[in-house]
Amino acid sequence: MSKLALVTGATSGIGRAFADRLAADGYDLIAVGRNTDRLDQLVEARPDVKISPVAADLSTLDGIRAVADLAAAEPVDLLVNNAGVAHYMPLAELPADKAAELVMVKVLAPTLLTRAVVGGMQQRGSGAIVNVGGMIAFSGPAPSTVMPRRAVYAGALADLLAFSQTLSAELEGTGVAVQALLPGVVATEFHTRQGLDLSAIPRMSAEDVVTASLRGLELGETVTAPGVEDVSLLETVFAADLAAFGGQSPQVATRYRD
């Protein structure tokens, strides 16, 4: 019996690479995207695989609810929350509708789609949820001289990281795995849609990102950073987070006293 994967943003970039790889691995697919022509191209490219194309706009509540209802009704074995939007600019310059769109696609949609499938996964005692973010989730302390201004985008990816880590702990022992997938710069259309030419910067392929994700699931990783060779760097960050969390006191810190 084939396993079933639901992939959002399945028509380009990392999402398309996930769809192609999972189809090759024998999964049936629910492929979600905005572009119906590209969804049709995906189906035509894999006539040997059962692919159910779903045209939906995850920047709208109606689109999120439609996909969530579908996901809740199906025995989804693997959910890949990959859909994204390229609104990467200073907050003061980010139009309100684009800020809302980014939060809907990268925060609300993954949250509600995960909620839709996690109950069934728990009942079956198996399943995996992959939340595609990026290494920018760690970039909050970086000054604008190092990284472009990107408050909403970075905040959304940081949310995905904390959400994945906390949910992973919540689901410990249930057989359901959760992964925050955090690639660096990837050779996709993401930056060209913003008019940015990153061709001179070394970039990872979307296919390598998917390979790392699937291997990370096998290794039991909650956080998979495909381009980070020294995993102790990640462990140091997470240990520091817990140390800061555990270092609090009911007394106000000395530096805040008169």
Q: Which residues are catalytic?
A: 153
Q: Strand 127-132 relative to strand 4-8: parallel, antiparallel, unpaired?
A: unpaired
**30 residue type, one letter:** I
Strand partners, 81: 131
Look up residue 126 and give its two tokens.
Answer: 């198996």
Helices (H), the chain: 13-24, 36-45, 61-73, 96-103, 109-124, 151-170, 206-219, 231-246
Q: What crossing angle do the helices spanning 109-124 and 61-73 adopt, rounded to 10°?
A: 10
**Element holding 131 (H helix, E strand):** strand 127-132
Alpha carbon 89 to chain centroid, angstroms: 20
Strand partners, 176: 127
Q: For the purposes of burial, counting CB atoms within 10 Å of the CB of 230, is it exposed (0-12), middle (13-18) or buried (19 or more)?
A: exposed
Q: For the purposes of burial, counting CB atoms within 10 Å of the CB of 10, is it exposed (0-12), middle (13-18) or buried (19 or more)?
A: buried
**Dihedral Cα 101, 103, 104, 109, nearest 10 deg:** 140
